[in-house]
């Protein structure tokens, strides 16, 4: 599992679309105190509104890592970014990347890391060997965010829920399972890069025995109803052994995104399927609430939708970006 060196300098390359810089925006929004500033190439047309610092300046201010905050087309590292990364390494910083390209495949980066003493950290890849899952019951409490589809708020829900629990005086730790989550938390693993036989074992290692009353808030991945990514969801569910589930949903979607032949299930059916699957390793697992990505709804439509859904399912319904997740935290601690 990865341990990252903070604080960060966020590198935007020559990004032209905000959607391509979602990693950088996520870090700015969720761990602002760990971010010193941003840097980009002159041709970039997106900025984060943070202090603009060259790598050498950031290193002098104590930056531990330059984080590549954008997803380049195809997940490959553009060669014209290399001089900036080499500058950061020569100044003693680590380079943290969530791209598919491995940083060590670039000789100039390896040489710069050796000169400056920095590390090349590929958060999408892990050299750790994980065992198969054991199914052994672990101490402490766990809540896992799950979804009716991918990319609809599982990470944001988990982060918001961690904060809400901590604000109530509860001991809670965000457990990151994706590259952006790892960068925000400074630790964790990209679960979708683990060999399938060992996903459950990796999830067990991510959330080890803990003290009574402590909550591990585990970032979900994929969806049980996704024709491509249900496998990682199921392995994470079994290895996490959650005591509680929060179902995340986007009401604007009627089918799995990019898979028009696969309809989104009814929410009661989704809850039942997740609970049924989770009971393999935790017979007491329960769903404690619904997290909605309501960005497609007006204020009035969202209020009506939330009230109707809560009445139908007899569960709290929240949007972490529109009113917070206090009701979910209260349900966990009840």
- Same domain, yes or no: 183 and 95: no
Q: Is residue 135 part of a domain?
A: no
End-to-end CA distance of the chain: 33
Q: Is residue 132 part of a domain?
A: no
- Same domain, yes or no: 40 and 173: no
Which CATH number does the domain housing residue 275 bear? 3.40.50.300
- Same domain, yes or no: 118 and 265: no
- Same domain, yes or no: 84 and 161: no
- The residue out of 122, 155, 190 marking a domain boundary is 122
Which residues are within 8 A (CB) of 132 and not within 5 positions of it... i.e. 6 or more apart? 197, 198, 200, 201
- Same domain, yes or no: 169 and 198: yes
pLDDT of residue 3: 83
- Same domain, yes or no: 45 and 105: yes
pLDDT of residue 37: 97
Overall number of domains in the chain: 2
Q: Is residue 50 part of a domain?
A: yes
Q: Is residue 288 part of a domain?
A: yes
- Same domain, yes or no: 63 and 107: yes
- Give the predicted TM-score (pTM) of the model: 0.88
Give residue 60's domain range.
2-122
pLDDT of residue 73: 59
- Same domain, yes or no: 65 and 112: yes
CA distance 149 to 111: 42
CA distance 72 to 20: 7
- Same domain, yes or no: 174 and 272: yes
pLDDT of residue 2: 74
Q: Is residue 133 part of a domain?
A: no
- Same domain, yes or no: 319 and 204: yes
Q: What is each CA distance from 122 to 97, 231, 254, 294, in whole angstroms?
A: 5, 23, 35, 33
- Same domain, yes or no: 234 and 299: yes
- In tens digits, the chain (334 residues) has pLDDT values of 678 999 999 999 999 888 788 889 989 988 999 999 999 999 999 999 999 999 999 999 999 999 999 976 567 889 999 999 999 999 999 999 988 889 999 999 999 999 999 999 998 877 778 999 999 999 999 999 999 999 899 999 999 999 999 999 999 999 999 888 988 988 898 898 899 999 999 999 999 999 999 999 999 999 999 999 999 999 999 999 999 999 999 999 999 999 999 999 999 999 999 999 999 999 999 999 999 999 999 999 999 999 999 999 999 999 999 999 999 999 999 9
Beta bridge partners of 3: 187
Distance of CA 299 to the CA centre of its chain: 27
Question: Would you list the DSSP string of 113-166?
Answer: HHHHT--EEETT------PPP-----SSEEEEEEESSSSSSHHHHHHHHHHHHH
Q: Is residue 286 part of a domain?
A: yes
Which CATH number does the domain housing residue 27 bear? 3.40.50.720
Nearest to 185 by CA among 196, 172, 174, 177: 174
Element of type H or E holding 3: strand 2-3
pLDDT of residue 1: 65
- Same domain, yes or no: 18 and 66: yes
Q: Is residue 310 part of a domain?
A: yes
């Amino acid at each position: 599992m990865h341990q990252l060196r903070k604080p960060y300098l966020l590198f935007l390359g020559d990004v032209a679309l905000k959607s391509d810089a979602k990693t950088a925006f996520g870090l700015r929004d969720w761990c602002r105190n760990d971010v010193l500033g941003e840097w980009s190439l002159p041709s970039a047309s997106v900025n984060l509104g943070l202090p603009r610092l060259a790598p050498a300046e950031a290193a002098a201010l104590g930056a531990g890592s330059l984080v590549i905050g954008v997803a380049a087309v195809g997940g490959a590292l553009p060669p014209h970014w290399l001089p900036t990364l080499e500058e950061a390494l020569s100044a003693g910083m680590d380079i943290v990347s969530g791209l598919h390209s491995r940083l060590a495949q670039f000789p100039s980066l390896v040489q710069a890391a050796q000169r400056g003493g920095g590390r090349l950290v590929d958060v999408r890849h892990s050299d750790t060997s994980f065992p198969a899952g054991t199914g052994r019951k672990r101490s402490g409490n766990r809540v896992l965010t799950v979804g009716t589809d991918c990319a609809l708020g599982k990470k944001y829900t988990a982060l918001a829920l961690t904060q809400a629990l901590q604000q109530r005086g509860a001991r809670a730790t965000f457990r990151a399972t994706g590259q952006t989550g790892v960068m925000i938390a400074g630790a964790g693993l990209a679960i979708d890069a683990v060999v399938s036989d060992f996903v459950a074992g990796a999830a067990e290692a991510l959330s080890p025995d803990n003290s009574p009353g402590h909550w591990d808030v585990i970032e979900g991945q994929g969806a049980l109803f996704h024709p491509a990514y249900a496998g990682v969801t199921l392995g994470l569910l079994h290895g996490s052994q959650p005591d509680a589930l929060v179902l995340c949903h986007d009401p604007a979607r009627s089918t799995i995104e990019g898979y028009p032949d696969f309809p989104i299930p009814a929410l009661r059916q989704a809850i039942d399927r997740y609970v049924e699957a989770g009971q393999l390793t935790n017979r007491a697992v329960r769903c404690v609430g619904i997290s909605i990505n309501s960005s497609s709804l007006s204020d009035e439509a969202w209020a009506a939708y939330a009230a109707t859904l809560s009445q139908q399912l007899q569960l709290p319904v929240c949007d972490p970006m529109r009113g917070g997740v206090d009701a979910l935290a209260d349900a966990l601690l009840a």
